[in-house]
């Protein structure tokens, strides 16, 4: 486009915009933002006095890790094996004892189809089909 044609086109912004008004509005906005930030900082300083002080770093204690996990696992497994393969009282007042797991499995398997019935129920007679009514 030749330069001669640009001369009689309309300018994108009319020249009657007052720059002082634009600067006053922008300056007022910046003053408002500055006053708001200062007010918030003063409020925080009054309500939370230590808000702007550097934080003191607290050190957590070191974790208590196992020094020899293989030995701990071996001790744990030995204790479990001893518990599963030995005799002990569970409740002496009610005459309940624990027996070795192998022996317990043989006793349960030896009961046959009634293996999972309650311990004292296999001797009792089943109730009659009519509910015991004459």
The 10s digit of each residue's pLDDT in 70-100 is 999 999 999 999 999 999 998 999 989 999 9
Share of the chain above pLDDT 90, in %: 34
- pLDDT tens-digit readout, 17-52: 788 999 999 999 999 999 999 999 999 888 988 878
* pLDDT band per the 50, 70, 90 thresholds, residue 120: low
Decide if pLDDT at 106 tops 60: yes
Beta bridge partners of 91: 96
Q: What is the mean pLDDT of residues 60-74?
A: 89
Q: What is the DSSP letter of 90?
A: E
Transcribe 3-52 into DSSP letters.
HHHHTTSPPSS-TT--HHHHHHHHHHHHHHHHHHHHHHHHHHHHH-TTTT
> Bridge partners of 70?
none
Query: Strand pairing of 88-91 and 96-98?
Result: antiparallel
* 3-class SS of residue 78: helix
Q: What percent of the chain has pLDDT over 70?
A: 77
Q: CA-CA distance, 61 to 127, in Å (whole number)? A: 66
Q: Which two tokens stand for residue 96?
A: 């309940």
What was the pLDDT predicted at 75?
A: 95
User: Is 95 in a helix, a strand, or coil?
Assistant: coil
């Amino acid at each position: 486009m030749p330069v001669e044609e640009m001369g009689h086109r309309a300018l994108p912004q009319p020249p009657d915009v007052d720059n002082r008004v634009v600067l006053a509005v922008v300056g007022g906005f910046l003053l408002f933002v500055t006053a708001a930030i200062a007010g918030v900082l003063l409020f925080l300083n009054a309500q939370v006095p230590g808000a702007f002080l550097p934080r003191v770093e607290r050190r957590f204690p070191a974790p208590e890790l196992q020094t020899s996990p293989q030995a701990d696992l071996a001790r744990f497994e030995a204790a479990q094996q001893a518990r599963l393969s030995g005799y002990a009282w569970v409740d002496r007042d009610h005459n309940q004892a624990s027996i070795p797991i192998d022996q317990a499995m043989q006793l349960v398997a030896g009961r046959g189809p009634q293996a999972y019935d309650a311990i004292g129920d296999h001797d009792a007679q089943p109730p009659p089909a009519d509910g015991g009514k004459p």
